[in-house]
Amino acid sequence: MRFITASILFLVSTAAADDRPNIVWIIPDDMSANFSCYGESAIETPNVDRLAAGGVKFTNAYVTAPVCSTCRSAFITGMYQTSIGAHHHRSGRGVKKIHLPPNIKLVPKLFQEAGYHTSITGWPVRKGRLGKTDYNFEWNKSIYDGADWSGRKDGQPFFCQIMTPGGKLRGKDPEGWEKMHSNTKKKLGNRTPLSAVRLPPYYPKHPDIVRDWAAYLDSVRMTDVMVGEVLDRLEKEGIRKNTLVIFMTDHGISHARGKQFMYDEGLHVPLVISGPGITAGTVRTDVVEHIDISAVSLAAAGIPIPGNMQAQDILAAQYNPRAAVFAARDRCDETVDHMRSVRTNRYKYIRNFLPERPYLQPCAYKDAKHILMAMREWNAAGKLDPIQQLVMRERRPEEELYDLRNDPFEIHNLADAPEHTARLKQMRGMLDTWMKETDDKGRVPESPEMYDSDMAVYLSTIKRRGPERLQIISDNIALMKQWATEGK
């Protein structure tokens, strides 16, 4: 049973006064911690910076899934997606559905039951249009009262999710990059120059990769503008001081080694919390999980945290910092995969359950990106150095171990190093224990019936993109089934 502080009991008892704090989540897509307050020097992000200056910045926040629908399914329940059967990306969309256990309620429903107005929107707000949900299970839209907090009753506290495109703003090709630059220049007076780009060492300086990264940085700048607009609206309406604002992204940058992978580029996200009771200018370096925003938000509103919720109130006075954080990657669209990881402040352990498959398996979504085309082009031409070839390998090690203090880019796998045998066993054991204790549903492969159910929906929605795209995905599905038959 969770401990309820006297202050929370007071909040609950005085709820009728409607003086409980408002809660606002700002969650952009596909974006790593490339903000100036996190050390990014190529651009300036004054609004996220002022949010951090007025609150607490977590430097070691990680998602439990490096892809959107599984990540969102986790934070909206405060549960590991693997524990609730929502671990496959965009699953349960076909005739076969995924249903949550009856004892699990979505966070907005808990707020609604406590008298809060609930909403989910994009930005700018479009009247009547709900923001992105993308949950992998059946749910009732009535958990949201509308698309904006303006529909609340006078004095009624509100819970609002603001979901924005983030890194998706830059698109996937030169047309998208140029559009991003043009919009940024129109809004801010300039575009991020190519000369400002500093790529991680595992990416080559291919012109398309450099151009894409510059456009990505402009998407960060435009996301910062959006954050400023939200804060300004709260100030204008006179409710900023009584609003807890949580800024976080749904996973890292969509790139070859980022989104859908277990490296920090895909898992590490910014997390800034500012509002009532938060000491300004606080920096936290302990590891936290993205699902923790659920528990933090409920606690701030005086709503009891469900006893079965795996999220933790990381702002509670009695909070005992996590020793490690965990993550999982499973099927993404048509591409079958199975990875798990555990990370402490210093070490990362990754287990590849399908080691005979290439790192960059066929995936229509990622393969359509010009940055992936560029990587393959230079790899075929022999222009990649050994570090840049890591993600191009046709086979994966079963285990990966990285010393993040000395190897922050996760380049040197220490799993076979004799001097790290004890560490490897320790991390392996931590992962095994987590999988067992949290009832990791991924230990049992997705059934062919569920896969076919979701693929039927995927293929039907992709038809409008033309026969070539449809054929690519159909071929990928056939290959996934072939590899499964071969035990690969």
Q: What is the mean pLDDT of residues 399-428?
A: 98
Residues 94 and 236 in one domain: yes
For the segment 156-189, what is each residue's pLDDT rounded down to a tens digit?
A: 999 999 999 999 999 999 999 999 999 999 999 9
15 vs 312: which has the higher pLDDT: 312
230 and 90 co-located in one domain: yes
The answer to whether 327 and 341 have CB atoms below 8 angstroms apart is yes
Alpha-carbon span 269 to 63, nearest angstrom: 7
Say yes or no: 311 and 196 in one domain: yes
Residue 462 lies in a domain: no
Residue 182 shares a structural domain with residue 304? yes
Residues 256 and 213 in one domain: yes
- Global pTM value: 0.95
Q: Containing domain of residue 400, as a range?
A: 329-445
User: Do 312 and 399 lie in a common domain?
Assistant: no
**CATH number, domain with residue 219:** 3.40.720.10
3-state secondary structure of 230: helix
| Domain endpoint, select from 292, 320, 348 | 320
**How many Å apart are CA 219 and CA 4, to the nearest integer?**
41
Is there a single domain that holds both residue 308 and residue 347?
no
Mean pLDDT calculated for residue range 396-413: 98
CA angle centred on 327, ends 359 and 286, rounded to 5°: 125
197 and 241, same domain (yes or no): yes
- For residue 480, is it within any domain? no
Last-in-domain residue among 445, 461, 478 = 445
| Average pLDDT over every residue of 194-210 | 98
Residue 173 in any domain: the answer is yes
Predicted confidence (pLDDT) at residue 113 exceeds the cutoff of 70 = yes
Q: If DSSP codes are grouped into helix, strand and coil, which group holds residue 412?
A: coil
The mean per-residue pLDDT over the stretch 282-309 comes to: 98
Report d(CA 108, CA 110) in Å as an integer: 5
Q: How confident is the model at residue 227 (pLDDT cuts 50, 70, 90)?
A: very high
Question: Is residue 244, in this structure, part of any structural domain at all?
Answer: yes
Write the CB contacts of 322 (distance below 8 Å, at least 6 apart in sequence): 286, 287, 288, 289, 312
Residue 339: phi, psi to the nearest 5? -135, 155
List b or e across 184-200, with b for residues whose CB sees 16 or more CB atoms inside 10 angstroms. Answer: beeebeebbeeeebeeb
Give residue 9's pLDDT band: very low, low, confident or very high (50, 70, 90).
Answer: very low
Q: Does the residue 340 lie in any domain?
A: yes
Residue 17 has a CB neighbour count (10 Å cut-off) of 9
Question: What beta strand segments (E) does 347-488 contain?
Answer: 347-352, 399-403
CATH code at 419? 3.30.1120.10
pLDDT in tens, 358-397: 999 999 999 999 999 999 999 999 999 999 999 999 999 9
**pLDDT value of position 17:** 57
Residue 310's Cβ-side half-sphere holds a number of Cα atoms within 13 Å equal to: 23
Q: Quick check: is 457 in a domain?
A: no
CA dihedral sign of residues 69, 326, 267, 469 = negative
